[in-house]
Amino acid sequence: MFPLRLPYYAKSLPLPIPTLDEIERSEDIIHQAAGRKIVGIGPYVVKFGRQVELTEGENMLFVAHTTSVSVPHVYALFKENQNGYIVMERIKAKTLESEWPFLIDKQREVIVTKLGSLFKQLRSLPSPGGYCSLDNRPLLDDFFWSGSSSEKFNGPFHTEGELNEAMIRKYIFDNGSKNKAEFYMQCLPSIFRDHPPVFTHGDLQRKNIVLRSIGNTEREVDVVLLDWEFAGWYPSYWEYARALFACGRWDDDWGLWINRIFAPDLYMNEWVWSRMLLLELWS
């Protein structure tokens, strides 16, 4: 099945794929941002726009094909008029973000145990050639986004050292202090080192975890992971550091449970340094 030939259309469909006109005119807007929009049409959710990379859909197909991790079923991947279109299953279930305050600790433990098992599977998928996306393509984490066709920072990278250098070049590109950049050049090689490339979701937040069912034992839990646009093979600390960074102001205890998902592979020093760098870039 991989590498995947695009455009892609699933053999079995619940209904015909919506037309471009139906997609554009849908009033069931789930999310909208610059360069991308997500709408609902019957049994489908369609993510489309100039900033939509079909790699996200390929990631979901890859994960569904190689692991037992539940992802939305992908029905079509295509491009029209410079827009990317991902047509996928509409999952009618609540997110972990909305349900978290109402779960008792026993249920939380079951979900976290399940997530730990799923991420262990993902992290065991062998890289096609270093730190990269599928088929040894560039990484898509928005850390590397430049908005420039001439300035590229996202690899692919053969070594972690190359990735570190790209992060510092991106910092300078975003008008970071050259003196601070020199400081990072001296420090980062001793912090970001010896981390093998592991397959990474890249945006572990509760809003991206859907609870299709929940009980009191691990077998009664079915969680679906959404938003695979950043996924690829990153240094082994990346998933943990990004998940903690997404906790923002730490308004509740979710960050403490993240430690349980990844234990014993916790990268606390790496999280602190990556957080400092991200805050400077995005402040």
What is the tens place of the pLDDT at every residue in 129-148? Answer: 899 999 999 999 999 998 87
Give the model's pLDDT for residue 261. Answer: 97
pLDDT the model gives residue 149: 73
How far apart CA 96 and CA 227 sit, in angstroms, is: 14
What is the pLDDT averaged over residues 172-186? 94
Range from 39-43, 158-162, 219-223, 268-272 carrying the lowest mean pLDDT: 219-223
* Average per-residue pLDDT for the chain: 94
Decide if pLDDT at 19 tops 60.
yes
Q: pLDDT class for 214, splitting at 50, 70, 90?
A: low
Q: Looking at the whole model, is its pTM more than 0.85?
A: yes
CA atoms of 235 and 238, how far apart (whole Å): 6
Q: Average pLDDT for residues 160-165, to the nearest whole number? A: 97
Instruction: Give the pLDDT of residue 40.
Output: 98
Alpha carbon distance 185, 200 (integer Å): 25
What pLDDT, on the 0 to 100 scale, is given for residue 131?
A: 98
Q: What is the mean pLDDT of residues 15-38?
A: 96
Share of the chain above pLDDT 90, in %: 89
pLDDT of residue 242: 97
Is domain 93-283 classified as CATH 3.30.70.270? no
Residue 217 is predicted with a pLDDT of 60
d(CA 112, CA 96): 11
Nearest partner of 211 among 197, 203, 221, judged by Cα: 221
Question: Rounded to whole angstroms, how far apart are CA atoms 188 and 218?
Answer: 39
277: its two tokens: 């760098």
Q: Where in the chain is the domain with CATH 3.90.1200.10?
A: 93-283
Task: With cut-offs at 50, 70 and 90, classify the pLDDT of residue 189.
Answer: very high
Q: Report cis status (omega within 30 of 0) of the bond before 18.
A: no
Mean pLDDT, residues 229-253 taken together: 97
Confidence of residue 216 (pLDDT cuts 50, 70, 90): low
State pLDDT tens for residues 99-127: 999 999 999 999 999 999 999 999 999 99
Q: Tell me the fold of 8-89.
A: Phosphorylase Kinase; domain 1 (3.30.200)
Residue 1, pLDDT score: 60
Ranges of CATH 3.30.200.20 domains, the chain: 8-89
